[in-house]
Amino acid sequence: NAGVTQTPKFRVLKTGQSMTLLCAQDMNHEYMYWYRQDPGMGLRLIHYSVGEGTTAKGEVPDGYNVSRLKKQNFLLGLESAAPSQTSVYFCASSFDYGYTFGSGTRLTVV
Amino acid sequence: AQKITQTQPGMFVQEKEAVTLDCTYDTSDPSYGLFWYKQPSSGEMIFLIYQGSYDQQNATEGRYSLNFQKARKSANLVISASQLGDSAMYFCAMRGGGGSQGNLIFGKGTKLSVKP
């Protein structure tokens, strides 16, 4: 019963480096989301996807790109990491009103 | 624009007592859903309870109940008989209808501490 799996769980990047966070779900959900969580800010939507091959911007998309080449995977990319992108990143998928979250990726940019 | 407001950054409650966590929302959509999530110190997001805007009765799930007052646009979470394991961050969230495409909008959270 994997649900939503995020890889990696922790990462430290230097300013200017790039990386990709992987989100995989095995529930055949159409909708997938990437959120970031900062202290005192709750979760804020970065990008989302309503199906394979589609992506859209959320509330805080700047500095991130996403791709959904396969229905089960939703990738979040940072092309040139900045210290302001230090955060905990959550992926989620949904069907109707059922949402499943991954366990999060803690990213530190130094 | 849709918005969730949680006005209590932190709260304390004595073990075995009940506690209410406040949540107000703003939306112009007639169809929406309201959620509460728990985030313990381990970090995972745990779904607690859901209330649909057309539901006639307040949602309940075990020790959790949602006090839904549509006219006041409030969706307070009530935890009965608090336990030490209830100490965590609690987030209220809303899913709008129409063109929201299922996105959840979160409040800033309330940190609940249960005292023995």
Nearest chain A CA: its distance from B106 CA (Å): 6
Residue A23: count of CB within 10 angstroms of its CB: 26
Nearest to B109 among A42, A50, A101 (CB): A42
Mean per-residue pLDDT of chain B: 93
By the 8 A CB rule, do B59 and B67 touch?
no
By the 8 A CB rule, do B21 and B77 touch?
yes
Q: How far apart are CA A90 and CA A58, in angstroms?
A: 14
Looking at residue B106, its pLDDT comes to 96
Looking at residue A97, its pLDDT comes to 84
What value does the mean pLDDT take over residues A7-22? 97
Which residue of chain A is at minimal alpha-carbon distance from B52?
A: A97
Q: What is the CA radius of gyration of chain B?
A: 14
Answer whether residue A2 shows pLDDT above 80: no
Q: Which pLDDT tens digit goes with each residue over B15-72?
A: 999 999 999 999 988 889 999 999 999 999 999 999 999 998 999 999 999 999 999 9
Adjacent-strand bridge partners of B32: B96
Answer whether residue A110 shows pLDDT above 70: yes
In the numeric block, the tokens 């950054």 are attached to B9
In the numeric block, the tokens 């209410």 are attached to B20
Q: How far apart are CA A22 and CA A35, in angstroms?
A: 13
Looking at residue A40, its pLDDT comes to 84
Answer whether residue B99 shows pLDDT above 80: no
Q: Which pLDDT tens digit goes with each residue over A30-83?
A: 999 999 999 888 999 999 999 999 999 999 999 999 999 999 999 999 999 999
A-B contacts (CB, under 8 Å): 49
Q: Among A42, A35, A39, which residue's Cα sits nearest to residue A74?
A: A35
Answer whether residue B101 shows pLDDT above 90: no
Q: Which pLDDT tens digit goes with each residue over A17-29?
A: 999 999 999 999 9
Q: How far apart are CA B68 and CA B58, in angstroms?
A: 6
Looking at residue B98, its pLDDT comes to 54
Looking at residue B38, its pLDDT comes to 98
Looking at residue B69, its pLDDT comes to 96
- CA dihedral sign, ordered A84, A86, A90, A91: positive
Interchain contact, A103 vs B50, CB within 8 Å:
no
Looking at residue B53, its pLDDT comes to 92
Tell me how far CA of residue B94 lies from CA of A40, A97, B11, B39, B55, in angstroms: 18, 11, 22, 16, 15
Residues of A in contact with B102 (CB under 8 A): 31, 48, 50, 94
Looking at residue A1, its pLDDT comes to 63
Tell me how far CA of residue A57 lies from CA of B11, B42, B67, in angstroms: 34, 29, 33
